[in-house]
Amino acid sequence: MDRITRSHLDSFRQEQTLGEMDEPDLFELFADFCVVADAYDDEFSVADVHVGGPDDLGLDGIAVIVNGALVTSVDEAQDLLAVNGYLDVQFVFVQAKSTSGFSGHEITSLFEGVEEFLRESPALPMSEAIANAHLLMAWLYDNSISFRRHKPSCLMAYVTTGQWKEDPYLKAKIAKGIEQLRSGGLFSDVAFLPMGADELHESYQRSKNSVTAEFTFATKVLLPEIEGVSEAYLGVVSAKEFLTLIRDRAGNIRKALFYDNVRDFQDYNAINGEIRQTLQDTGAQGRFAVLNNGVTLVTRGLRTTGNRFVLTDYQIVNGCQTSHVLYGERDALGDDVQIPLKVIATSDEDIINAIITATNRQTQVTAEDLYALSGFQKRLEAMFDAYPDKKKLHYERRSKQYSSMSGVEKVRIISKPQQIRAFAAMFLDEAHRASRYYSDLRAQVGTKIFNDQHRLETYYASAYAYYKLEYLFRNGLLPNYYKPPRYHLLMAVRYIVVGDQMPALTANKIDVECGKICDVVWSDELAVDTFREAMVAVDAALDGAVLTRDSVKVQTFTDSVKAAALDRYLRKTRVAPSGPPSKSRRTPPTVPRARSRPTVPPRPGTG
């Protein structure tokens, strides 16, 4: 392995807090991260896409991207279908070898592994991670009637530390494998990416950058000077040129660009249907610029050279619906389709929020839609950042906010979806809903979640508990068997530590209770002990049944875990009335084992 690759690998190890993991295993995770980061713009946990290990069909990584979101279960895909009304799917497969060459045998093995994975009834044994991905794949194809335009696309990447030389023999092997996959009729497109050290380095560097794009903006006017705005332009741009702003390197729409937009794509409702009808009518395409309100784009970095615009860290704050319809009809767009475009360069968050609010007044936007614009989000970000050293987290108010910042551990970045789920599980007893794609929880934003009157400590405590639980899973300090009920574990920890007599989420007194939770999860030793107790509560709720992903979906399971966790709290308080467990009471409980359940590893030292 060359020096640069090893340096990047060490940096990745630190960002992901992967401890003393062996280099070959670490390289697999690194390769998974780089490949998926090129196909998916948002932050993600590499553990969610890594499948390497025994019975892995020769695959080290599988990512399933549905409607622009990285999904890991059928539940999440079902929720996306319910919200959007369609399925737009991409499969990403990764095989990584830390050797310095490209092997025809290994490339063939990658194709064979993908083919086996796609079979309705695979003949080879599959690990739990592969089996879960296979179940998701099967559900997607069972619901193929909901594919929006095309069949799913497929990207395969073979990653090594060598140099790709365009070897004719290997190219022929790849072409043969692609043709065989295409002949199966499951994909609209199949792409193969050979990644050597150079491509790997470039991919890793891209993952650290904010979203950047370059386009030609010829027909425009410079708006007069505006306080707080460095530059602002108004004009029209060709639809094909506009697509370069909203598509990533893999050709997918960049969902992260609409992170600050108040509404997701509403599918082909009456208005969007009319937009599509105009784009499908070659006679009407030329009138698009006068029929459509256009797009407003805010960028925090802008460089211009004549008509060439380079945007850095930009968002489309109005025009989400137009952008998605244009993307959906991209094959039908003629050269005469022009898009009204407003480009505003500013780094003033108050101005950005004012622009978002003003430009969206023309449509029905609910208070829940506007949660991202509140001052609450800023205060939460500042509060997370105020903690010192290992207690610090980074709340991501906008996509890729921390990508270009050095020294930030990726695993300490808490996104809005993660925060919503963790808070709802720990403080609203909504663990079963948090285990899904959280579409039900988003309806509570502004009232039960992200309420301006809520104490910020509740959000930090739940976020840090989530971070610590993922850390313990990732480093093998807790068994992965308990990953499906991870949100139930968060809920259980709250009841085990402080019981059920919680002050209101708006009361100052709740800070004391959150402090007790934080004292536990800040400590490696106490965190392991308490999460083990939470696992006992999960086992009690199962009552001898085997833990499955279906187990965690229902309210009754949440209620049972809550009751079992509260029972453990009451047992402890008969000995000591309050506070975290004393050292004399830190003996881990015996965790009953299912047949397939791994042994709980020994307790680490304090960190």
Does residue 119 contact residue 112 with C-beta atoms inside 8 Å? no
Q: pLDDT: is 20 or 161 the higher one?
A: 161
Strand partners, 339: 237
Q: Shortest CA distance to 187 belongs to which of 255, 115, 112, 243?
A: 115
Mean per-residue pLDDT, 423-440: 81
Q: What is the pLDDT of residue 605?
A: 41
Among residues of the chain, what percentage have pLDDT more than 70? 87
Does residue 380 contact residue 423 with C-beta atoms inside 8 Å? no
Q: What is the pLDDT of residue 264?
A: 55
Q: Specify the pTM.
A: 0.68
Distances (CA, A) of 102 to 97, 160, 171, 372: 9, 7, 11, 46
Distance of CA 74 to the CA centre of its chain: 16
Distances (CA, A) of 16 to 400, 404, 475: 16, 16, 10
Integer Cα distance of 237 and 452 in angstroms: 40
Q: Which two tokens stand for residue 541?
A: 């709720």
Q: Shortest CA distance to 326 belongs to which of 402, 396, 424, 240?
A: 240
Q: Is the pLDDT of residue 353 over 60?
A: yes
Q: What is the mean pLDDT of the chain?
A: 83
Integer Cα distance of 77 and 79 in angstroms: 5
Q: Which two tokens stand for residue 244?
A: 């370069």
- Residue ranges, comma separated, of all CATH 3.40.91 domains in the chain are 3-207
Amino acid letter at 276?
R
Integer Cα distance of 355 and 340 in angstroms: 16
Q: What is the pLDDT of residue 293?
A: 84
| Fold held by 3-207 | Restriction Endonuclease (3.40.91)
Confidence of residue 425 (pLDDT cuts 50, 70, 90): very high
Q: What is the pLDDT of residues 575-603, one digit of tens each?
A: 544 444 444 333 334 443 333 444 444 44
Which residue in the block uniquely carries the two structure tokens 């050293």? 389
Q: Is residue 236 helix, strand or coil? A: strand
Q: What is the pLDDT of residue 265?
A: 58
Q: Which two tokens stand for residue 473?
A: 């899973």
Integer Cα distance of 119 and 107 in angstroms: 19
Pairing mode, strands 69-71 and 89-96: unpaired
* Segment among 213-227, 366-380, 516-530 with least mean pLDDT: 366-380
